[in-house]
Amino acid sequence: MHIVVCIKQVPDSAQIRVHPVTNTIMRQGVPAIVNPYDLFSLEEALRLKDKLGGKVTMLCMGPPQAEDALRKCIGFGADDAVLVTDRAFAGADTLATSYALAAGVRQLAREQAVDIVFTGKQTIDGDTAQVGPGIAKRLGLQLLTYVSRIIETDLVNRTITVERRAEGGVQVLKTALPCLITMLENTNEMRFANLPAMIHAAAYPVRKWNKEQAGIEDPAKIGLKGSPTVVSKVFGPTPRSEKADMLELETSSLRDVSLNLIQKIFTRHPTLESDLLMKELT
């Protein structure tokens, strides 16, 4: 079985700071990490490999330094890694990104037929959740998003049965391979990379493909040129003018502060008290 896992290297959003005057992102010192949502997909891919055998190939589009993210995945147990990297990919939106990654998957399929493609459910920097569905559409793969559990993979009949998180419940879906899966978060826990694996990863020759090697047929469809969306403005959030009304604990008891706060809340929101009392009755 051949599984391809697509990942993205992202800045750790918890550590991003915006320059207060220029409203630009201050990237210095912000660590780049593997998009956390991608790791749930990678772990699931590794579990399938443990159970059914085969090979897990990592695929990433990004600048040369994204090689570090791929290396990390080799450390976790992936077998091979390809970085699709070319200046021509810069400025890609989700449509152009799915075009490039779909081309990459096609190239990998020429080496060995691909059974399952995994992507993260979304990234933590773009947050769009569009690239997975985009790749599936371009490759004609069955799409299974927000999968919470893989129930069964049948390599003889080439089918897969999964549970998919939907609004208000879980769908049980059965489809044919090849398919594209995005895993829901917290559905598994990434294994530890042991020391020999990390040493192996550090020396692993990550393959780097430029746009020709990645099999890009139409250069007008990648990067900025291939992106229908246009960023017209970037700006900082408007600060709230009103400052918080601070209730002092030092001068009064916890009980008094609590009673005072309740009064303030119900004064500020005149219908809230009756709403809450109504709810209690029903």
Partner 1 sequence: MSTPTPSAAPATAARPAGRGRNLELPEHLKAYKGVWVFIEHDRGHVHSVSWELLGEARKLADTLGSSVGAVILGGDDEPLEKFAAEAFTMGADKAYVMHDPVLKGYRNEPFTKGLTDLVNKHQPEILLLGATSMGRDLAGSVATTLLTGLTADCTELKIDPVSRALAATRPTFGGSLLCTIMTLAYRPQMATVRPRVMAMPQIDATRSGEITQETLGMVETQIVTKLLDFIADANSQQINLPYADVIVSGGKGLKNPDNFKLVFELARVLGGEVGATRPCVQAGWVEAERQVGQTGKTVRPKLYIAAGISGAIQHRVGMEASDVIVAINTDPNAPIFEFAHYGIVGNAMQVLPALTQAFAGHFANHRRQAA
Q: How far is the CB of 42 from partner 1 (least distance, A)?
A: 16
Q: Which is nearer to partner 1, 9 or 204 (CB)?
A: 9
Q: Of 120-179, which residues contact partner 1 (CB under 8 A)? A: 122, 124-134, 136-138, 142-146, 161, 163-176
Q: Work out how close the CB of 121 gets to partner 1 at its nearest, in angstroms, rounded to a whole number.
A: 9
DSSP symbols for 37-98? HHHHHHHHHHHHHHHH--EEEEEEES-GGGHHHHHHHHHHT-SEEEEE--GGGTT--HHHHH
Any contact of residue 234 with partner 1 (CB under 8 A)? yes
- Binding of residue 190 to partner 1 (CB under 8 A): no
C-alpha to C-alpha distance for 19 and 195, rounded to whole angstroms: 39
Nearer Cβ to partner 1 (68/125): 125
Q: What's the min distance (Å) between Cβ of 231 and partner 1? A: 4
The one segment of 58-66, 107-115, 209-217, 226-234 that binds partner 1 by CB under 8 A: 226-234
**Closer of 113 and 176 to partner 1 (Cβ):** 176
Instruction: Name, in order, each residue with C-beta under 8 angstroms of 102's C-beta and a sequence gap of 6 or more.
Output: 134, 135, 138, 139
Of 125, 127, 147, residue with least CA distance to 136: 147
Ramachandran category for residue 176: left, alpha or beta (phi over 0 → left; psi -120 to 50 → alpha): beta
Select 85 or 98, whichever has its Cβ closest to partner 1. 98
Any contact of residue 22 with partner 1 (CB under 8 A)?
yes
- Restricted to residues 81-110, the positions that interact with partner 1 (CB under 8 A) are 90-95, 98
Angle between helices 94-111 and 131-139 (to 10 degrees): 50
Which 243-272 positions form the footprint of partner 1 (CB under 8 A)? 243-249, 254-255, 257-259, 261-262, 264-265, 268-269, 271-272
In order of 135, 152, 166, 219, 276, the CA distances from 163 in angstroms are 21, 10, 9, 38, 37
Rounded to a whole number of angstroms, the minimum distance from the CB of residue 212 to partner 1 is 20
Choice between 203 and 231, CB closer to partner 1: 231
- 107 vs 100: CA distance, rounded Å: 11
Given candidates 32, 112, 185, 215, which one binds partner 1 under the rule CB under 8 A?
Answer: 185
Q: How far is the CB of 260 from partner 1 (least distance, A)?
A: 9
Query: With respect to partner 1, which residue has the nearer C-beta, 169 or 205?
Result: 169
The span from the CA of 90 to the CA of 88, in Å, is: 6
**51 touches partner 1 (CB under 8 A):** no
Q: Which residue, 98 or 204, is less far from partner 1 as judged by CB?
A: 98
113 binds partner 1 (CB under 8 A): no
SS3 sequence of 148-190: EEEEEEECCCCEEEEEEEECCEEEEEEEECCEEEEECCCCCCC
CB 74 within 8 A of CB 194: no
